[in-house]
Amino acid sequence: MRQPIIMMGMDSGILGVAAGAAAASGFMAYAVRGRSSSVFGQSYYHGDRHKPALALTFDDGPSESTPQLLDALEKHQVPATFFMCGENVRRCPDVAREVAARGHELGNHTDSHPRLDFKSPRFIYGEMARAQETIQATTGTKPRWFRAPYGVRWFGVAQAQELLGLRGVMWTVIGRDWRWPAARVSELLSNNASNGGIICLHDGRGVRPAPDIRPTIEAVEYTIPRLQERGFQFLTLTQILCPQN
């Protein structure tokens, strides 16, 4: 008669351990990729929710196709923030300089676009520092914002941000423009645009040379005027997150 009682106690203990493991796993998943998480360093994912303003941001550039995107933004008089990879800047230095010359803001997106989870703090700092040095040396502009590739942060990111004078940024909505056609991207952005929103799109595809970013450009061309008609103003990240600066 005692054996079932013992087994029940053992089962309860196992369930408790499993529940604890699941909770810990869930917390780490949020810490690493949760857009509101600041576990691995200060991070923002929206601006003032009382103002009809949006920050349009682009990751993974510059690329050979970025100038076409710049033309689309200029057509609609929209400033944006470009999170650049150091490797891409070295491949397309003139394009990187053109982004800055056209009045857009530059951000740090690491040097070679790796996932940072399970990497050492030394590796993470090296990736961020090389990108920071390359962007500044090439364009004359020192980035003040950092976005981790794939939105994945890890131990060491906070220290690297502090040492390099960077602040972390996630997004309010991500367009999935590396995978979806322009019409679907436009629908997603239109349906999820909200006051103080930070929109994440891509003018590159990792560090791949000559990527096809036509869906991104087409989505931008279609969506921007419609959001402007709804009363949204487009600002850089600094303007939307630090309006006093």
202 labelled catalytic: yes
Indicate whether 19 and 53 sit together in one domain: no
Helical (H) or strand (E) element with 8:
helix 2-33
- CATH number of the domain at 217, please: 3.20.20.370
Catalytic residue among 46, 59, 60, 111: 59
Whether 190 shows a pLDDT value over 80: the answer reads yes
Indicate whether 24 and 55 sit together in one domain: no
pTM: 0.90
Separation of first and last alpha carbons in the chain: 74
Tell me the average pLDDT across 201-219. Answer: 97
CB atoms within 10 A of CB 38: 15
Indicate whether 182 and 163 sit together in one domain: yes
Catalytic residue among 109, 177, 202, 203: 202
109 labelled catalytic: no
Does 38 map to a domain?
no
Indicate whether 110 and 14 sit together in one domain: no
> What is the C-alpha to C-alpha distance for residues 115 and 206, in angstroms, rounded to an integer?
11
CB atoms within 10 A of CB 184: 15
DSSP string covering 115-179: --TT--HHHHHHHHHHHHHHHHHHHS----EE--GGG---TTHHHHHHHHT-EEE--SEE--TTT
Q: In the block, which residue shows the tokens 């009809």?
A: 52
Q: What are the tens digits of pLDDT across the range 37-73?
A: 989 998 999 999 999 999 999 999 999 999 999 999 9
Least Cα distance to 202 among 147, 126, 153 occurs for 147
Please, what is the average pLDDT of the chain? 92
Indicate whether 232 and 125 sit together in one domain: yes
Query: How many independent structural domains does the chain possess?
Result: 2
> What is the C-alpha to C-alpha distance for residues 224 and 221, in angstroms, rounded to an integer?
6
Does 211 map to a domain?
yes
Q: What are the tens digits of pLDDT across the range 116-139?
A: 999 999 999 999 999 999 999 999
